[in-house]
Chains A and B, each alone.
Chain A
Amino acid sequence: MTETVVAAAGSGWLRIIIGLIVVLLFSQLNALFLVWLERKVAGHIQLRPGPMEVGPHGILQTIADGIKLVGKELITPRSADRILFVIAPVLVFMPVLVAFLVLPFDQHLIIRDMNVGLLLIFAFSTFSVLAILLGGWASNNKYALLGAIRSVAQNVAYEIPLLLSVMSVVLMTHSFRFSEIVAAQHRFWFIFLQPVAGLIFFIAATAETNRAPFDIPEAESELIAGFHTEYSGMRFGLFFLAEYTNMFIVSAVAASLFFGGWQGPFGFSLGLPGLVWFLIKVYILLFVLMWFRWTFPRVRFDQLMNFSWKVMIPLSLANLLVTAVVVKLI
């Protein structure tokens, strides 16, 4: 059915508009669901049930929370830079939406199958750093500023291994186009061919999304709430939703690059449609991200940088080199 809808939408503007509406709906609902899921996972890991009151097993809890957030007063600190302060939460959410345009949910369920899809995602994901920096700076709060500074340094440091590990995949497929990369994994997922790159990508992606154990820009026990210390109401809500949408995107990219996207393992689809395979993989990866968060303590800022520059980057460079040589030889 999805295929007919997509086909009916045809190409061009109509497709993009419909795509955007679907993306908006999906990303919002998905983020709400993820928040609920995170709380459930956290709860059960910690031997407690998590949200239970609103809806069956608390499934509607995040919607109730969202309504509460919408209803809250938006407080702008007196000494804040008002314009930047307001822009930052919007800016953090925008690039997130763009990324959905090129994600391959299924063989045909790609809003825009660009030949630079991969680059587009990474280009836009860097935007969110800017938004965090703006938010932290504009708040005129030392904790927020510290969080913003940490965030920038961390993102710069982890962008490199992230891209280098992606490059190994690109070298193997000779393409930045998502559909081709996924199609190339028809038989073997790249996680089997590129385990090191996959691992590095996942770790760097955890850092990119500011998730524990790399959540130092927020660092609750150190910086109160980091860059969004001063944000309230839906402005905070946007930062919050963006975090979960970001998680979804990196998991989706990881699923497409290393876990065969919409394809089943070793070419067996087991009768499941591509979209289901894709979502299964994405949610498993999301679960792992949550599992990380509720298991590990937070790394320290300088250790985080050390880890990036001394371990991740050399490893990914070496991996890239080996990949290049092997690809050349074959």
Chain B
Amino acid sequence: MDEQLLEPVRENIYQLNLGPQHPSTHGVLRVLLKLDGEYIVEAEPVIGYGHRGHEKMGENHTYLQFMPNTSRMDYLSGLIYNHGYCLAVEKMCGIEVPERARYIRVICAELNRISSHLLWFGTYVMDLGGFTPFLYCFDDREQILDLLDGVSGSRLTYSYCRFGGVNRDVDDAFVAGARRFIARLRSRWVDYHNLVTKNVIFIHRVRDVGIIDRDLALRFGVTGPNLRAAGVAYDLRKIEPYEVYDRFDFEVPIGGKGDAQDRYHVRLAEMEQSCRIIEQAIEALPAGRFRNEYRYQHVTPPKGDYYLGFESARGATGYYLVSDGSRYPYRCHIRVPSFGNLQVLTEVLKGTMVADAISILGSVDLVIPEIDR
């Protein structure tokens, strides 16, 4: 709806407080909606309910002590955040990482990405009112959690990566389990497509809903699957290959219009690509150490700053670390993808219906604690 249409009904506009306690705001997001009937005139996300001051904590902890915090920002892709942080510190200090560890990290990070996308898939359909796919996804996701639990000892906040390697070595059971999981996931697609993707109700709920096109994305710094849905193949794993991603053959799935349906398809396709990466990494998993012999406790990077960008399940993430040569970072800034992905909603939600707002909020895959830090 454009402005002109809205003009005569200005006086009938009322405010609705969507959240912070609401079944579909995933965590503690509050969206102040100005509504005209069911149509949204203005939407203002209000955030910060989960603010824990990670950046301040980063300045008060040594580099190693901050590592467990990293998996608590985006709790759905905690391992990817661990991974990125360790990479950043390793790059700063010039720590060499054994080959085996690098492959293990990639395998685990991709498993983590799949689990994050699976959870998104389930909760998104739940936001749209279909409860059952949510539990099917949890059934699948449980297999990943079991796998990662077996190697890292934790199911959500992994704290798995260490400077110069990983915490524990993977065994044959893990490798076999990962293979089994990939086969299982692939066999489930048929059912998921029949249950959700092809469902006429679902299609009507997502098609042409919440279009984020290239220009809008550029303006708001939208990244990740939300940007790729608009047809931009921007994936830091390809563009700025970190770790050993440049050794794998995988595609960056892209959409066209950038509506909720494209975002949905991009994420589903990404899971398949992650499966491919895992398969290749397992195939090429070298023998050797999973961790450097020297266990880095207190690292002191040289003075200066370093930025490391990596691709989390939600988009381009980055650690900006400033070292003053001591054991504590002078500044630890984290660029979180959900920040831009949420901010763009101030534009996108305008003129949509409340039901669409839920669909859009779900489709951009927000993790609020990540934004709040």
Chain A residues with CB under 8 Å of B199's CB are 296-297
Q: Beyond A222-B358, A301-B38, is A296–B201 a contact (Cβ under 8 Å)?
A: yes
Known: A220-B23, A221-B358. A45 touches B16 (CB 8 A): no
Task: Please measure, in the bound complex, the distance between the C-alpha atom of A300 and the C-alpha atom of B132, giving whole angstroms.
Answer: 18
Among A46, A146, A297, the residue within 8 A (CB) of B128 is A297
Interface flag for A219 (CB, 8 Å): yes
Tell me whether A2 is interfacial, beta carbon within 8 Å: no
Q: Are B135 and A48 in contact (CB under 8 A)?
A: yes
Contacts A45-B132, A295-B130 given: A300-B139 contact, CB under 8 Å? no
Quick one: closest A residue to B206, CB to CB? A297
- A142-B14, A222-B358 known; A298-B128 Cβ under 8 A: yes
A-chain residues with CB within 8 Å of residue B126 when the two chains form the complex: 221
Contact among B14, B136, B202, B356 for A297, CB-based, below 8 A: B202
Query: Could you mark each residue 171-197 of chain B with 1 if its beta carbon is under 8 Å from any beta carbon of chain A, else 0?
Result: 000000000000000000000000110
Is A138 at the interface (CB under 8 A from chain B)? Answer: no
B-contacting residues, A189-241, CB 8 Å:
212-213, 215-216, 219-224
- The reply to whether A221 and B204 form a contact with Cβ atoms under 8 Å apart is no
Residues of A within 8 A of B16 (CB): 142-143, 146
Q: Cβ of B135 and Cβ of A47 under 8 Å apart?
A: yes
Task: Find chain A residues with CB under 8 A from B127 CB.
Answer: 221
Contacts of A146 in B (CB 8 A): 16, 38, 354
A302 interfacial contact with B, CB 8 Å:
yes
Interfacial chain A residues near B170, Cβ < 8 Å: none
Cα A143 to Cα B38 with chains together (Å): 11
In this complex, the interface size class of chain A, counting residues with CB under 8 Å from chain B, is 20 to 34
A299 within 8 A of B: yes
Q: What is the CB-to-nearest-CB distance from B127 to chain A, in angstroms, rounded to a whole number?
A: 5
Query: With an 8 A cutoff between CB atoms, is B355 at the interface?
Result: yes
Q: Is the CB of B14 within 8 A of A213?
A: no
Give Cα distance in the complex from A301 to B352, angstroms.
12
Contact with A along B96-109 (1 / 0, CB 8 A): 00000000000000
B125/A297 in contact, CB under 8 A? yes
With a cutoff of 8 Å between Cβ atoms, the chain B residues found around residue A300 in the complex are 204-205, 353, 355-356
Instruction: Say yes or no for A33: interface residue by CB 8 A criterion.
Output: no
- Judged by a CB distance under 8 angstroms, whether A294 is at the interface is yes
Query: In the complex, which residues of chain A have a beta carbon less than 8 angstroms from the beta carbon of B131?
Result: 42, 46, 294
- Which residues of the partner chain B approach A45 to less than 8 Å between Cβ atoms? 132
Instruction: Among A215, A216, A299, A301, find the residue whose CB has the most chain B CB atoms closer than 10 A.
Output: A299
- Kindly state the separation between the CA atoms of A150 and B125 in the bound complex, as whole angstroms: 21
* Chain B contacts for A301, CB-based, 8 A: 38, 353, 355
Question: In chain A between 249 and 302, which residues have their CB closer than 8 angstroms to a CB of chain B?
Answer: 294-302
Q: Which residues of A contact B358 (CB under 8 A)?
A: 221-222
A222–B24 touching, CB < 8 Å: yes
B203-242 vs A, CB cutoff 8 Å, 1 = contact: the mask equals 0110000000000000000000000000000000000000
Partner of B204, one of A143, A150, A223, A303: A303
Specify which chain B residues have a CB less than 8 angstroms from the CB of A221 in the assembled complex.
23-24, 126-129, 358
Give Cα distance in the complex from A183 to B61, angstroms. 82
A-side residues, CB < 8 A to B, are: 42, 45-48, 142-143, 146, 150, 212-213, 215-216, 219-224, 294-303
A-B contact pairs, 20 of them (CB 8 A): A42-B131, A142-B14, A142-B16, A146-B38, A150-B38, A221-B24, A221-B358, A222-B354, A222-B355, A294-B131, A295-B132, A297-B196, A298-B128, A298-B129, A298-B201, A298-B205, A299-B204, A300-B205, A301-B353, A303-B204
7 new A-B contacts at CB < 8 Å, known A221-B128, A300-B204: A142-B14, A219-B129, A220-B23, A294-B132, A296-B130, A298-B130, A299-B204
